[in-house]
Chain A
């Protein structure tokens, strides 16, 4: 290696040093530590006690709340992710038409991405308020005798959270819009000449051409939905997981185990089970994607 090349290499390492240190100290190190901790009994203050597979065995065989939280999270993933993708894609397709007021619509639809945090969750609590909230007032107005109690009802607490997530997903249209604008116009022109209906065009041109974007959103969306829990912490009274544990999501249960009960080893085992679940689902997605994701220029 020449002196110049060596100097460039050293400079390069120095530039990425902040990331490299951060990776070791805040990602890789903690992950290894967490893997080790998952085989121990540990409460931060006392010494770690090696217990082997005990935590994992307990989780799978004798912890009902673990399965409840896994079920709740699965339920949320199953509904929130597809509905979110459909919402974003639908809005993007509508916005991609030559329609007056586009700029105003784009601004409005981006609003959910801006309005976040505790403030908005408190707003939703008020919107879903069983007695005085506008949703139930409206439902009573159109003749529903006993509208749902939403966050106070085990059956309706999760649907309420999914409705909230769809509202938030509206802001996701931006990524689809960028993808849509990359679809060659001549495909639609040819389809128009053949007299294909808008729905037919959507299914035969838009979806295949957008499949890489949809795939990206599916991977990231599923991973994010598996980690959904902060809203439940704020929305459910006292952050305990709502009525009859109906909003005890996986992350919320892990949070309780770690920072309420200080069972750090047990919670670490939960974290690793989650990581494995996400990895398996992502790998499956990549495997299945070969059948439906279409990349332009790819020889088939």
Chain B
């Protein structure tokens, strides 16, 4: 009973400062929250501005002060913008092109990744180092000779130069899948081997089904890359009927007098598939497990 006041009289310094420490930490959290809100606003602002513009009548597009919530909401901008250029055809072209690239990339990089992760052969480590090294080579160094190669093959003007390379396992995705395959226990493959399974069977029936998160990551990134690619299609496609959406958008801008409400409506529609894909697989992306797992290696 008498000891208690004594303890209070000589408390350790940290105990005394605990309430202030808590206040500092609360203050810090308030500042952090405010900062997060401010950055969110800066990030959302252009996107909301795009949405707002796409729903305006032309007089409101150039209004000063700017109108944030259009009145009336002009939904017809979307259907009219869609008809200003053959966007339906562009969309079909882009979809087929992206699908072919995703198929080629997933197939070839998972095969190569299986070889590097699960099979032993002389020179494996050297070849894998070469693969890693190629990730450092600027795409510009190979852009010109590849163009010359495809032009000698008379492939320029069509989709072959854009699709064929994806069937030959790019370095980054092979690396990413190889890291994932390495984490799959060898016992599973051994058990299948004892039962007389071949390596192709094991790759297809054991490894691939267990790797859906990694394969989905590769597929989504590849799809997004193909959907958004601009320079490749610009370089290789010269027939208007073969244009992709990205080329269509750019020409739509330069060919007509810029009507921003139509341009923003068209741009929104072009972005939509990627945005939908993102929201469907949101958890996967934002947690970032398969992405960072591959990068940390």
Contacts and interface: CB of A to CB of B under 8 A. Distances in A.
Contacts of A23: 130-131, 134, 168
Interface in B13-48: 14, 17, 21, 24, 28-29, 32-33, 35-36, 39-40, 42-47
Given A124-B46, A132-B61, A117 B230 contact: yes
Contacts of B139: 227
A254 B121 contact: no
Interface in A86-123: 90-91, 94-95, 97-101, 103, 105-120, 122-123
B147 A34 contact: no
A94 B99 CA distance: 38
Interface in A174-211: 174-175, 177-179, 192-193, 195, 197-198
Contact of A167 (B42, B109, B124): B42
Interface string A1-31: 0000100111111111111111101110111
Nearest to B156: A44
B12 to A, nearest CB: 10
Contacts of A9: 119-122
A68 to B, nearest CB: 18
Interface stretch (A151-159, A270-278, A289-297): A270-278
Interface string A225-236: 011001001100
B124 A99 contact: no
B137 A22 contact: no
- Which secondary structure characterizes the binding site on chain A? helix
Nearest to B108: A18
B141 A234 contact: no
A109 B39 contact: yes
A115 B146 CA distance: 29
Contacts of B171: 19
Interface residues of B, number: 96
A280 interface: no
Contacts of B286: 103, 106-107, 110, 174
B289 to A, nearest CB: 8
Interface in A230-289: 230, 233-234, 238, 251, 254-255, 258-259, 264, 267-268, 271-272, 274-275, 278-279, 282
Interface of B: 14, 17, 21, 24, 28-29, 32-33, 35-36, 39-40, 42-47, 49-50, 53, 61-62, 64-66, 108-109, 111-112, 114-116, 119-122, 124, 127, 130-131, 134, 136-149, 151, 165, 167-171, 174, 199, 203, 224, 227-228, 230-231, 235, 246, 249-250, 253-254, 260, 263-264, 266-268, 270-271, 274-275, 278, 282, 285-286, 288, 291-292, 295-296
8 contacts: A12-B120, A15-B114, A19-B108, A115-B274, A118-B267, A178-B296, A268-B145, A279-B136
Given A18-B169, A31-B141, 6 more contacts: A12-B121, A105-B40, A109-B40, A119-B268, A179-B292, A230-B230
